[in-house]
Chain A
Amino acid sequence: MFSLPLFKQSVKSNWVMWASITGVMSVLCAQFSALKMTQPLLFVIFYGMMTTILPAIYVLVTANKLIAGQIDRGSMAYILSTPVKRSTVVFTQGVFLVGSLVAMFGIETLVHLAVNAAKPITLATALGNSDLGIQGDLTASMIVQVNLSALVVCIAIAAVCFMFSGIFNSTKYSIGLSGIFVGVNILANMLAMFGSLGVSGLDKFKYLTICSFYDYKSVLFSHNDWITKMIFPAAIAVAALTIGSAVFKKKDLPL
């Protein structure tokens, strides 16, 4: 079911990318939450865009490398010529991909919690908008919940990329379709954000992106919408991972 040597191998060949994205995300998070100048953009820019764009870049490259890249290069032959089942390979790689995202958000959340404990800010400041009539400080549980909401959406994006990686033997199709998927979602999310900031017409783009299921506002306004909204990306993730694994287990491999 799970292969430790393969997991270690995946860590070895992907840690650089993971560490740099995690580093950038953590530094940005610390900056946006600590500096007075950027605090008003903490949610609009950092949580609104960075927490989806940065992991999406990581996921796009890594998901492709985990399966399709190794088949395209032919190096998967060395794994499958040992008593490791295809189902074990796909499960282990899936665990690595999802696990590395969890670790990424875990570290970023810890950084934010630490900064927030040292320099608490009010919700009005963090949203950069005092007209909303929102009271109180940004609490630790809010930070955790926002990140959880973002994490689930990123896992769904990862799962879709992983599905393409499992379906195609050729990197150009795997990364091409994953790229289109990620691009459309991120772009639509940004356009929808401009829509929510007042550019009329653009708000319709929120229906085009999976990122709409990530709802930090609901957390900050203490609604429970974000919990129900997590069901959809979670379902997409499960479906995509299942399809990707099933195709990978059955298909012909040019190794």
Chain B
Amino acid sequence: MPEIIKIEHMTKDYGNGRGIFDFNISINEGEVYGLVGTNGSGKTTTMRHLMGFLAPDSGSCEIGGINCRKHSDQIMKRVGYVPGQIDFPDVGSGTNFLNIQAQYLGIADMSYTEELIDLFKIDTSAPLKRMSKGMKQKMALVAAFMAKPDILLLDEPSTGLDPVMRDTLIDLILEQKKRGATVFMSSHIFKELEDTCDKVTFIHNGKVINTVGRDLYNEDMPRLYRVGFADEGQYLEFKDHTGFQIQSSNDTYKHLMAAVPMNEMNSFVRELSNYDMRYMRYVPYSLEMYYKNNIETGGNV
């Protein structure tokens, strides 16, 4: 798959340590790519550069070989964008807004737009100013997806959506991927990134920490189990004597997290059968854990 989005040594310094510094991101055509970071880490700034709204202090970003800042109008023919900050033009109802967007985008056939409106269950006849946060977000999503763009830049697309709608959004993103679209989305909700993204880049305080691919969820990776003990003595005994690696433990609540290699599941259960357990729970390894292990506690931040 050819590279479609290229960010090279891009720096934008807002002073006081704010901004983004020496970003390098490469996204191939057809990929769903996630950008994760805390508030103020530079997600929106990155998106704004790709949209050509901001000019980098140094470095560059390109979409499809075209410089994002210099020829953004050419890029916009292929891009759908959900801004991080949702506020609509002063044009009355939602229907009005979507019709005007369709004119800008040169869409004559509104059937896909209607489909999206049904999918998100929006009452577009309502005035934009009266819409709730979630409704506004759904309007923004329809506006971004309605032209079936090749490239989708989604800045925290699930903000304000209820859990059901968030799942609808995830399905929609996967559908876009299926038809070959490239999706670049930022989020701090790990679930939606896990369910959709092929690759995820972690950023913190304006710096790229690292990029992980799907192989983060390697099938052969040790599985994590959380075990709660009824008795403190047994808890300590297991903690001190087991051959399994203890990832974390909590003495107050007498539970611990053990990493169990795939082929040692049986011996793990056999060993535990000697103990008085309160519960045992499988903990899927998630981006969130990765984030906590590598970013928050990592020395490289």
Number of interface residues of B (CB under 8 A): 33
Contact call A5/B103, Cβ cutoff below 8 A: yes
Q: Known contacts being A79-B104, A80-B76, A84-B73, is A9 close to B91, with CB within 8 Å? A: yes
- The minimal Cβ–Cβ distance linking A100 to chain B, given in whole angstroms, is 16
B101 x A82 contact (CB < 8 A): yes
- Known contacts A81-B79, A83-B77; A75/B90 CB under 8 A: yes
Cβ of B89 under 8 Å from chain A: yes
* CB-CB under 8 A for A12 and B104, given A74-B83, A253-B53: no
| A110 within 8 Å of B (CB atoms) | no
- What is the minimal beta-carbon distance from A153 to any residue of chain B, in angstroms? 28
B261 on the A face (CB < 8 A)? no
Complex formed: what's the CA distance from A4 to B106 in Å?
12
Contact with B along A69-89 (1 / 0, CB 8 A): 010011101111111110000
- Contact residues in B for A253 (Cβ distance below 8 Å): 48, 53-54
Complex Cα gap A12–B85 (Å):
23
A204 sits at the interface (CB 8 A): no
Interface pair B74/A83, CB less than 8 Å apart: yes
> Is A103 an interface residue when CB atoms closer than 8 A count as contact?
no
Is B101 a contact of A78 with CB atoms below 8 Å?
yes
B48 near A82: Cβ-Cβ < 8 Å: no
From known contacts A80-B51, A253-B54, infer whether A74 and B104 are also in contact, taking CB-CB under 8 Å: no
CB-based nearest A residue for B53: A253
Nearest B residue to A250, CB-CB: B55
A13 to B127 CA separation, bound complex (whole angstroms): 13
Q: Which of A208-255 contact B (CB under 8 A)?
A: 250, 252-255
On whether the beta carbons of B72 and A80 are closer than 8 Å, the reply is yes
Interfacial chain A residues near B54, Cβ < 8 Å: 252-253
Contact A81 B76 (CB under 8 A): yes
| B105 adjacent to chain A (CB < 8 Å) | yes
- Please, which residues of chain B bring their CB within 8 A of the CB of A250? 55
Measured CB to CB, the nearest residue on chain B to A76 is B89
Q: Is A129 an interface residue (CB 8 A)?
A: no
Bound form: Cα–Cα A1–B87 in Å: 25
Do the beta carbons of B51 and A5 come within 8 Å of each other? no
Nearest-neighbour CB distance to chain A for B51, whole angstroms, equals: 7
Q: Tell me the bound Cα distance from A85 to B104 in angstroms.
A: 11
Is the CB of A172 closer than 8 A to any CB of chain B? Answer: no
Q: Are B104 and A3 in contact (CB under 8 A)?
A: yes
A83 to B79, CA, bound (A): 9
Chain A interface (Cβ < 8 Å from any Cβ of B): 3-6, 8-9, 12-13, 65, 70, 73-75, 77-85, 250, 252-255
Binding site for A on B (CB under 8 A): 48, 51-55, 72-74, 76-77, 79-81, 83, 85-92, 96-97, 100-101, 103-106, 143-144
The 9 closest A-B pairs by CB, nearest first: A82-B104, A5-B103, A81-B81, A13-B90, A253-B53, A74-B85, A77-B83, A73-B87, A85-B73
Could you write out 27 A-B pairs with CB less than 8 Å apart? A3-B104, A6-B104, A9-B89, A12-B91, A12-B92, A13-B89, A13-B90, A74-B85, A75-B87, A75-B88, A75-B90, A77-B81, A77-B83, A80-B53, A80-B76, A81-B51, A81-B76, A82-B104, A82-B105, A83-B106, A252-B53, A252-B54, A253-B48, A253-B54, A255-B48, A255-B51, A255-B85
